[in-house]
Chain A
């Protein structure tokens, strides 16, 4: 399955989805006006990946900022991962936040309370 690699821009994050390694990364800023357009190919990729995922899927989310329109799309990504997890495959989400960024920590905790997948909060030292 072909990997997704997208370079980051001032409004959109860098994305690296590697099916072979089971490593999914979203990093940077996610503040586009039209988030659905940006996230749609990622959701579609996950639909295909979910049919035969790697034994362990590791998801690294390291966002500096994200807008509310992205927040629903990110939840859609997590829901796809939740269904992979519910089908008996190992999935772990690492939610990175900068030291003292309590808003980003809280955002991760909001997702953690909705999505039933192992969710690790990882503090990045400044």
Chain B
């Protein structure tokens, strides 16, 4: 079954859309996306510097998370782990911004991702600070070069809760949607 990510994402509410991207994520593409996001943010009116910077931080971490952790896709029936199709949307709301990402994950990753987000969602601002410092100082790097700090830092910067869902797409493949709320001051 062909997966039409564009169709799935376009069915979402896009009121207040500031930026959107649907396609393959690569290292070069990250640079382009971040440049575009930054350019868009500069054109927005009444966004204070702090919110602007936080949006960019959240953008960097979440887009790099997509690059490192998104599942590859089947292309003409052949699995290619290096082709990672993702979607990104930034919406402006009455309270601030919503940063939404979509990527594919295999079923075996779902429980681990959900547990991670649920546990971070329960932490207070002070808990997050202590947790961040503890992980920062644990001298451990993942095989993908990450330090396990991405989601903690996003939660610190966003000061809002994550919401997420997994939608079964085909056998052993789900679409993971993550929404990060960034409140303006």
Q: Which residue of A11, A33, A35, A110 contacts B133 across the interface (Cβ within 8 Å)?
A: A110
Among the interface residues B30, B35, B146, B149, which one has the most CB atoms of the partner chain A within 10 A? Answer: B146
- Which chain B residues border A71 with CB–CB below 8 Å? 136, 147, 149, 153
Interface size class of B (residues with CB under 8 A): 20 to 34
Cβ B149 vs Cβ A114 within 8 A: no
B67 beta carbon closer than 8 Å to chain A: yes
Cβ A65 vs Cβ B60 within 8 A: yes
CB-nearest residue of chain A to B148: A68
Q: Which of B16-24, B48-56, B176-184 contacts A (4 or more CB under 8 A)?
A: B48-56
Q: Which residue of A67, A68, A102, A110 contacts B50 across the interface (Cβ within 8 Å)?
A: A102
- Which chain A residues border B149 with CB–CB below 8 Å? 68-69, 71-72
Q: What 0/1 readout, one digit per residue, does chain B (118-133) give for beta carbons within 8 Å of chain A?
A: 0000000000010011
What are 7 contact pairs spanning A and B, CB under 8 A? A31-B34, A33-B67, A65-B56, A67-B61, A67-B64, A69-B149, A101-B53
Chain A residues in the interface with B (C-beta under 8 A): 10-11, 31, 33-37, 65, 67-69, 71-72, 75, 100-103, 106, 110, 113-114
